[in-house]
Structure 1
């Protein structure tokens, strides 16, 4: 999408554009708290397995209400883990893995590996 079309799409949306936090501005405690929640861990795992901007907010199968899911996305944005952009009526997501890994090396790998090991343990 061209920059002009992105601006046009953003101005036609009735939603407030998401605010993103740079991972370099995130305290370790905030990052750890964001990754401690099982629903957010699930969102991060699914985003880690998807390409950038492939997953819309409504495409995640999690056992929470739409409002609660929105809050989980906000927590991930505030922790520098998630970037979102509006595309028509959908909000698309991108895991900011490279940026997050630069500030918190190995943390995402640890969370993803811990889950994979837990699956193999049963």
Structure 2
């Protein structure tokens, strides 16, 4: 609806500018009539092109609503499934890595404890 109002406003503005230009020109009446006729035909042709382009744009938007948006939603669902699958597959590996890190940390703590015990004995 806004697009049609914009196009109508554009057309009215163009015609108003043409009328103003013709009224303030120093050309003869015949010359002004001829220029007005040519200008009006040009504006009509351009308005038809704009109207056609607007219709094509509306058709494209409708197609996107019907096709592209559902496809994007389906793609998002597929990505979500893949992410969940990856997380499920990675979880056992993460646990093994965490267990190994816990063992390394325990060994490091035991090593530090034994070093501290040796240092206390030496003093």
Greater share of helix:
2
TM over 0.5: no
**TM-score range relative to shorter protein:** under 0.3
User: Under a length normalisation based on structure 2, what TM-score does the superposition of the two structures give?
Assistant: 0.23
TM-score, normalised by the number of residues in structure 1: 0.23
Between Structure 1 and Structure 2, the one with more strand by share is 1
